[in-house]
């Protein structure tokens, strides 16, 4: 039985977990749940969320550079949305949770396998008005546009941290 690839995948997931939890804590957020390599994190303010997203991409890219023998050729896709989150016991739900999930799924296809990117909805962009990030958010046309994102507006952060 060959356990090589599983071991590598486990090390990659451990590294991602450490970077994600560390970054979330640094910026005052909460990791609500994760499933495999997908995480749901919440922050009180949009500025905290996008600053954490930038740091997450920077930290992940640094981790990948530190481990070239591990084949960390995978980038990450960060999707930010501002809205309401409802919780019942360990369940998180609501239209805005669904919107964020659909944003991440749709935008991840826009990235090369080794590229990281940060995408935000119009609601998140509006919450960043007046910040240094607002004018770095450029509209993205998704084709096909998922029904869940109709009328939402999708933007990509263009900065040194997200390229």
Write down the architecture of domain 4-162 according to CATH.
Answer: 2-Layer Sandwich (3.30)
Do 143 and 124 contact (CB within 8 A), yes or no? no
CA distance 67 to 78: 21
Q: For the chain, how big is the Rg over CA atoms in Å?
A: 16
pLDDT by residue (tens digit) across 71-123? 567 899 999 999 999 999 988 999 999 999 999 999 999 999 889 999 999 99
Q: Give the residue from 113, 101, 108 showing the smallest Cα distance to 156.
A: 108
The pLDDT value given to residue 82: 97
pLDDT at 162: 44
In this prediction, residue 5 carries a pLDDT of 66
Average confidence score pLDDT of the chain: 90
Return the pLDDT at 69.
Answer: 63
Kindly report the pTM of this predicted structure.
Answer: 0.89
For the chain, the domains span 4-162
Tens of pLDDT, residue by residue over 33-68, are 999 899 999 999 999 999 999 999 999 999 888 866
């Amino acid at each position: 039985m060959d356990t090589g690839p599983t071991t590598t995948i486990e090390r990659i997931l451990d590294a991602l977990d450490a970077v994600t939890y560390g970054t979330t804590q640094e910026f005052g957020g909460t990791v609500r749940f994760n499933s495999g390599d997908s995480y749901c994190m919440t922050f009180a303010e949009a500025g905290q969320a996008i600053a954490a997203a930038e740091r997450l991409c920077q930290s992940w890219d640094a981790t990948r550079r530190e481990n070239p023998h591990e084949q960390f050729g995978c980038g990450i896709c960060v999707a930010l949305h501002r809205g309401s989150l409802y919780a019942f016991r360990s369940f998180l739900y609501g239209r805005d949770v669904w919107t964020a999930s659909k944003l991440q799924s749709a935008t991840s296809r826009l990235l090369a396998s080794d590229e990281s990117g940060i995408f935000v909805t119009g609601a998140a962009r509006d919450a960043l008005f007046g910040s240094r990030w607002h004018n770095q958010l450029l509209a993205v046309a998704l084709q096909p546009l998922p029904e869940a994102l109709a009328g939402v507006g999708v933007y990509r952060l263009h900065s040194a941290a997200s390229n």
